[in-house]
Amino acid sequence: MSTYDEWKQILSGIPLPAVFVDLDAFDRNIKRFVEAARAVSTRHSIRLATKSVRVPALIRRVLDSGMPFRGLMCYAATEAAFLAQQGFDDLLVAYPTRQASDVAALKQVHASGKTIRQMVDSLDTARVISAGMEGVNRPFEIAIDIDMSLRMAGGRVHLGVRRSPIRSVEQAVELIRQINRLPNLRCRSVMGYEAQVAGLADQNPFKRTISPIVRLIRQKSRSRVSDFRRRLSEQLEKEGTPLELFNGGGSGSVNFTAAEPWLTELTIGSGLLCSHYFSYFSNIAPEPACFFALQTTRSSDPGFMTCAGGGYIASGEPGWEKVPLPYLPEGLKLVSMEGCGEVQTPLIVPRGSSLKAGDPVLFRHSKAGELAEHFNQYHLVSGNQVVDVVPTYRGLGQCFLG
């Protein structure tokens, strides 16, 4: 990991704001996650969540790493079509769509001979896709999304994401059966994402008081999730329709999810760039690999320094954990009344700091992929040198969900 002085050298002459990916750290993270999974089981392949990268050159780097990464988990049909054009294959669109334009995009990729699957969680949505696939020369692959949230008190307590209504083995089996009866479709794939384990940090410094509750939720969920996925897999085997693809997990659950032999693959994304939220899980240990740098432009008072830019707030439940974190030089703090602003970000500078106007400050984004929506290019750094500058989706003129 480079020091602040080394970063200053790396950044010199580059107009800020700019994003920097430490490729050495990124590669080490790839290895770390694979080793964490492999320490538990060697049977799963790993699917890369593209939403957590959004830079084709980095997506390619992961797939070419020689590690067991196979295929991409995409977040939009149009994204999958774009990635197919860029030469990628084995695309799982993990979130449903009902738009004719999206179905047309899926159909085009399918017709090109590539492997693409679309997630659904209702027969109604499957029917929309079935109708749109009229005329295909081989069935289009559908995957179903099962709800892995922790529900208690008859559903009055719901801990997890609100996505799929498929919550029992019977419902899942029935949906798969019905989808397989629709024209132009085939369903042998299931995804069950345990968001309240894989995406819920148990050492979040911004929510210390609820950490014990989070640990309890994660612990209780793990056995229920595992049990549900095992029962579903067994039932489908019994029915004579074993799953060809069974996806689970995320960066925050890699070593838990890998313990399930009935899954065929795990998903990993955010942990590779390691946005700051992914430093708050007790069971994974990635290192920061992605930073944005701002220039300091002025000082309103002694002990304060203001940067240009910085308001790259992450999506999800609002809170300080969604705000970028000053990283280097050490000891800088955000001003609570302003946070990271639309065009200005003031910082509290620690006593004795030599930071002066014009110096750069490095930050970490809360989420791994969303930063790419603010920048056209990422600077790739290795051995304290910028070795390449590569376009983000945005830099390639692409914006899939706005």
- Interface with ligand PLP by CB under 6 A: which residues? 49, 52, 73, 94, 193, 198-199, 250-251, 267-271
Task: Give me the least distance between CB of 321 and ligand PLP, in Å please.
Answer: 14
Q: Which is nearer to ligand PLP, 2 or 78 (CB)?
A: 78
Amino acid in position 188: R
**Per the structure block, which two tokens stand in for 183?**
């024209």
Distance CA 354, CA 194 (A): 45
Nearest to 68 by CA among 43, 89, 103: 43
Task: Give me the least distance between CB of 95 and ligand PLP, in Å please.
Answer: 7
Q: Which is nearer to ligand PLP, 56 or 269 (CB)?
A: 269
H helices present in 192-302, as ranges: 195-198, 211-238, 254-257, 270-273
Task: Give me the least distance between CB of 94 and ligand PLP, in Å please.
Answer: 4
Q: For residues 371 and 19, is the Cβ–Cβ distance under 8 A?
A: yes
Q: Which is nearer to ligand PLP, 165 or 383 (CB)?
A: 165
Q: Which is nearer to ligand PLP, 47 or 379 (CB)?
A: 47
Q: Which is nearer to ligand PLP, 250 or 326 (CB)?
A: 250
Q: For residues 233 and 176, is the Cβ–Cβ distance under 8 A?
A: no
Task: Give me the least distance between CB of 320 and ligand PLP, in Å please.
Answer: 19
Task: Give me the least distance between CB of 364 and ligand PLP, in Å please.
Answer: 15
Q: For residues 277 and 201, is the Cβ–Cβ distance under 8 A?
A: yes
**Per the structure block, which two tokens stand in for 198?**
């894989």
β partners of residue 79: none
Nearest to 349 by CA among 366, 365, 334: 334
Q: Which is nearer to ligand PLP, 251 or 366 (CB)?
A: 251
Task: Give me the least distance between CB of 271 and ligand PLP, in Å please.
Answer: 6
Distance CA 15, CA 357 (A): 15
Q: For residues 51 and 315, is the Cβ–Cβ distance under 8 A?
A: no
Q: Which is nearer to ligand PLP, 10 or 284 (CB)?
A: 284
Q: Which is nearer to ligand PLP, 7 or 281 (CB)?
A: 281
Q: For residues 174 and 231, is the Cβ–Cβ distance under 8 A?
A: no
Task: Give me the least distance between CB of 200 and ligand PLP, in Å please.
Answer: 10
Cis peptide leading into residue 360 (ω within 30°): no
Q: Find where tokens 């069971």 sit.
A: 283
Collapsed DSSP state (helix, strand, coil) of residue 318: coil
Distance CA 288, CA 279 (A): 8
Task: Give me the least distance between CB of 253 and ligand PLP, in Å please.
Answer: 8
Task: Give me the least distance between CB of 211 and ligand PLP, in Å please.
Answer: 19
Q: Which is nearer to ligand PLP, 314 or 380 (CB)?
A: 314
Distance CA 58, CA 42 (A): 24
Distance CA 313, CA 371 (A): 9
Nearest to 201 by CA among 107, 313, 317: 317
Nearest to 92 by CA among 113, 114, 111: 114
Distance CA 230, CA 218 (A): 18
Q: Which is nearer to ligand PLP, 73 or 76 (CB)?
A: 73
Task: Give me the least distance between CB of 352 and ligand PLP, in Å please.
Answer: 38
